[in-house]
Amino acid sequence: MSKKIVVAIDGYSSCGKSTMAKELARTSGYIYVDTGAMYRAVSLYCIENGLMTDTKIDAETLEKQMSDIHISFQTNSSGKTEVFLNGENVESKIRTLIVANGASRVSALGFVRKELVRQQQLMGQQKGIVMDGRDIGTVVFPDAELKLFLTASPEIRAQRRYDEMKAKGENISYEDVLANVIERDDRDVNRAESPLRKADDAIELDNSNITQEEQRNILKTLFEEKLL
Ligand code: DC
């Protein structure tokens, strides 16, 4: 059996973590886990069950209902991993700005993080996994063999996100997307529970000015080095 490792990819929102992680998982035959999708699923649950308004989250009820929230991943016929919430495919529902905003709020709650981290650690028990998020290298898998910390300027990330949303036909302005990116960065970095930060042993990669192909090659080299 060839050696299997855990790859942790952390970084700011919309800096291409998932593209990078998915591709590495595909080419290496590893499992890919998008932990942001799990926080988004909890956010969607809160919205659909009236537990979250613009100003408040009913944390007490959410905590009681955490055991009713079942999140899983399934690979569809095109090989794309999709997230399911209590048996429903919510992959497209969770990709809206409202759900993303809610996700950054629910992800500040200690009991939500504790439960999702527990599930993530179970998924990685056998190794052979690429996981992306904000706290993978620091909290979920502090012993991961390969840790990357991705960054890119807020303007570049907002532009990428804006292009993606426009392509999906969403009616949104670049300014709104940029404001949202900045607001989420602020929450991710400044929350008390597992704030976003680079693990001491993570390799930092600023992809503001490199092509996807260059990025892919850097990751491939780093990954192969770890398998030696
Ligand atoms: O990566 P994303 O945009 O899908 O993440 C959604 C939100 O969830 C984001 O605001 C940060 C949070 N998150 C987190 O706190 N920890 C993770 N491991 C993954 C995401």
Q: How many angstroms is it from 70 CA to the middle of ligand 1? A: 17
User: Residue 13's closest CA among 100, 110, 111?
Assistant: 100
Any ligand 1 atom below 6 A from CB of 120: no
> What was the pLDDT predicted at 103?
95
Q: How far apart are CA 197 and CA 175, in angstroms?
A: 26
Query: Is residue 60 included in any domain, yes or no?
Result: yes
User: Residue 44's closest CA among 119, 1, 105?
Assistant: 105
Q: Which three-class secondary structure state does DSSP give residue 82?
A: strand
Query: Is residue 104 included in any domain, yes or no?
Result: yes
In DSSP terms, which residues pair with 88 in a beta bridge?
85
- pLDDT band of residue 2 (cuts 50, 70, 90) is confident
Domain that holds residue 107: 6-227
What's the whole-number average pLDDT of the chain? 95
**Over the stretch 65-98, which tens digit does the pLDDT of each residue have?**
999 999 999 999 988 899 999 999 999 999 988 9
Q: Are 138 and 8 in contact (CB under 8 A)?
A: no
Q: Which three-class secondary structure state does DSSP give residue 15?
A: coil
Q: How far apart are CA 175 and CA 132, in angstroms?
A: 26
Q: Are 120 and 72 in contact (CB under 8 A)?
A: no
Nearest-atom number in ligand 1 for the CA of 14 is: 3
Q: Are 211 and 218 in contact (CB under 8 A)?
A: no
Any ligand 1 atom below 6 A from CB of 107: yes
Query: Is residue 49 included in any domain, yes or no?
Result: yes
**Over the stretch 162-197, which tens digit does the pLDDT of each residue have?**
998 899 898 999 999 999 999 989 988 999 999 999
Any ligand 1 atom below 6 A from CB of 188: yes
> What was the pLDDT predicted at 179?
95
Q: How many angstroms is it from 104 CA to the middle of ligand 1? A: 6
**Over the stretch 116-150, which tens digit does the pLDDT of each residue have?**
999 999 999 999 999 999 999 999 999 999 999 99
- pLDDT band of residue 62 (cuts 50, 70, 90) is very high
Nearest-atom number in ligand 1 for the CA of 104 is: 10
**Over the stretch 101-120, which tens digit does the pLDDT of each residue have?**
899 899 999 999 999 999 99
For CA atoms 107, 112, 114, 120, the dihedral sign is: negative
Query: Is residue 173 included in any domain, yes or no?
Result: yes
In DSSP terms, which residues pair with 75 in a beta bridge?
81
User: Is the per-residue pLDDT at 219 higher than 90?
Assistant: yes
Q: How many angstroms is it from 2 CA to the middle of ligand 1? A: 31
Nearest-atom number in ligand 1 for the CA of 140 is: 18
| Residue of 39, 135, 157, 194 to mutate, ligand 1, most atoms within 8 A of C-beta | 39
Task: Read off the pTM.
Answer: 0.94
- Number of Cβ atoms within 10 Å of the Cβ of 113: 20
User: Residue 105's closest CA among 66, 145, 53?
Assistant: 53
* H-helix segments, 29-74: 35-48, 59-65
User: Is the per-residue pLDDT at 1 higher than 80?
Assistant: no
> What was the pLDDT predicted at 94?
97
Number of domains in the chain: 1
CATH number, position 134: 3.40.50.300
Sheet bearing 71-75, strands edge to edge:
71-75, 81-85, 88-89
How does DSSP assign 199-228, residue by residue? -TTPEEEE-TTS-HHHHHHHHHHHHHHHH-
Sheet bearing 6-11, strands edge to edge:
31-34, 129-133, 6-11, 146-151, 203-206
> What was the pLDDT predicted at 97?
84
Any ligand 1 atom below 6 A from CB of 104: yes
Any ligand 1 atom below 6 A from CB of 144: no
Query: Is residue 1 included in any domain, yes or no?
Result: no
